[in-house]
């Protein structure tokens, strides 16, 4: 998969992007089962399962568009369409990829990318597009972040080493597509307190936020790392929503810091409000995320009858324009050839004729001299 690069284009308010790794044995089969079940339940309007080569060759809306190509290493392309709030259509595309060599040798997993786009501005209470493709079950390990060692639906303990903490925070702020929050455990929580606080977020945000936990003894180490790397502070027993790098416009550390979080399994409305506000900030798309969104828009195959008719009419118009351009080009070429032939003919008729050879007169000096020599050769004359 392509390397992550910064982009100046902000994420559209209608788009929901995500990515991760599935570490189980049959990721594509997990997707198919979930799509079939949701379509049978009436949740989905429809879905398609495409081979990457076929998807690239048969791109419906934008034929031969390079942005519609799923790229090297693609395994399968899945598309699904559903409706929210009654009449707002959501289109989503998920692509699975062959794992990189270093991933095969370490923690493995099949990488995947997902982009969903709605016909209106995205709402937090809408269903998560991730659960339209992946089963929302702890038994299916689809929720591993591409940043090593992190899970989307679980709490992630921070390392105890200062350098490792700084490296992880730096990688999360620069390379991750997710919003990250760090929670300090004032004391070791019980089983209820170990559950992710972010699991109480609205459905559409649960799989866009990753929760880190700092153990009680790591307060100073994590606070120092956050100050050095991101210029934010972590209160003891509190939490902070991390900024991205570069920092999003409108991000102020105090506005996204919570002084106290009770890890007793209860909902934490103040922290949840801070997270919701952070996800609403305008955040630039990475170059890879921008390609995924473009592929959704330009490589879409799951058409409704109305879209198929509109597409057919559009193709007829395109072919008519191409034929008209070819006809005009042929006529212009014919006119140019005829003009060139006329010019050549006119130039040939106006050219001067070559002069006829001039005959020498008999009384020329050379003729007289020849006759004189002839008398000396003939003694009778």
Question: For residue range 228-263, what is the model confidence (pLDDT) as tens digits?
Answer: 999 999 999 999 999 999 999 999 999 999 999 999
Residues 114-162: tens digit of each pLDDT = 999 999 999 999 999 999 999 999 999 999 999 878 999 999 999 999 9
d(CA 19, CA 293): 12
d(CA 125, CA 333): 61
Question: Is the predicted pLDDT of residue 4 greater than 60, yes or no?
Answer: no
Question: Cα angle vertex 150, ends 149, 151, to 5°?
Answer: 130
pLDDT in the model for residue 296: 96
**What proportion of the chain, given as a percentage, has pLDDT over 90?**
65
Domains of the chain: 14-144 (3.30.160), 155-282 (3.40.30.10)
Closest to 179 measured CA to CA, from 267, 113, 241: 241
Instruction: Look up residue 353 and give its DSSP letter.
Output: P
Question: Is the predicted pLDDT of residue 290 greater than 50, yes or no?
Answer: yes
Beta-strand runs (E) in 23-168? 46-50, 74-84, 88-97, 110-118, 155-157
Answer for the pair 70, 94: CB distance below 8 angstroms, yes or no: no
Q: What confidence category does residue 368 fall into, taking pLDDT thresholds of 50, 70 and 90?
A: low
Q: Which is more confidently placed, 366 or 59?
A: 59
H helices then E strands: how many in the chain? 10, 10
pLDDT in the model for residue 315: 61
Cut 0.85: pTM above it: no
Residues 50-93: tens digit of each pLDDT = 998 877 776 655 555 666 788 889 999 999 999 999 999 999 99
d(CA 263, CA 238): 10
Q: What is the largest CA-CA distance in the chain?
A: 155
Residues 309-344: tens digit of each pLDDT = 665 666 677 767 777 788 888 888 888 888 888 888
């Amino acid at each position: 998969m392509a390397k992550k690069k910064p982009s100046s284009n902000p994420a559209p308010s209608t788009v929901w992007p995500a990515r991760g790794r599935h570490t189980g044995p049959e990721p594509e089969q997990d997707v198919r089962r979930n799509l079939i079940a949701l379509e049978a339940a009436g949740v989905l309007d429809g879905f398609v399962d495409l081979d990457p080569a076929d998807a690239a060759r048969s791109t419906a809306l934008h034929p031969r568009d390079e942005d519609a190509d799923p790229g090297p290493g693609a395994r399968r392309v899945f598309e699904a369409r559903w409706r929210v709030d009654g009449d707002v259509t959501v289109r989503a595309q998920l692509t699975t990829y062959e794992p990189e060599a270093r991933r095969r040798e370490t923690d493995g997993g099949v990488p995947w990318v997902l982009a969903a786009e709605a016909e209106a501005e995205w709402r937090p209470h809408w269903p998560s597009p991730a659960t339209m493709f992946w089963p929302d079950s702890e038994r299916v390990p689809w929720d591993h972040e591409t940043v090593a060692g992190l899970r989307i639906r679980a709490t992630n303990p921070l390392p105890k080493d200062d350098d490792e903490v700084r490296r992880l925070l730096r990688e999360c702020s620069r390379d991750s597509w997710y919003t990250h929050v760090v929670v300090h455990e004032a004391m070791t929580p019980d089983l209820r307190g170990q559950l992710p606080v972010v699991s109480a977020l609205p459905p559409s945000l649960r799989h866009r936020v990753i929760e880190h936990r700092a153990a009680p003894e790591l307060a100073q180490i994590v606070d120092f790392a956050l100050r050095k790397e991101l210029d934010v502070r972590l209160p003891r027993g509190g939490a902070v929503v991390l900024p991205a790098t570069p920092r999003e416009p409108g991000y102020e550390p105090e506005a996204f810091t919570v002084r106290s979080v009770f890890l007793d399994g209860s909902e934490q409305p103040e922290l949840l409000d801070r997270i919701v506000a952070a996800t609403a900030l305008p955040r630039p798309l990475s170059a890879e995320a921008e390609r995924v969104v473009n592929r959704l828009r330009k490589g879409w195959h799951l058409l409704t009858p109305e879209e198929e008719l509109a597409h057919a009419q559009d193709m007829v118009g395109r072919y008519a324009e191409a034929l008209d351009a070819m006809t005009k080009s042929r006529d212009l070429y014919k006119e140019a050839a005829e003009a060139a032939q006329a010019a050549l003919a006119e130039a040939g008729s106006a050219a001067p004729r070559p002069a006829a050879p001039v005959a020498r007169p008999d009384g020329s000096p050379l003729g007289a001299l020849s006759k004189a020599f002839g008398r000396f050769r003939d003694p009778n004359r």
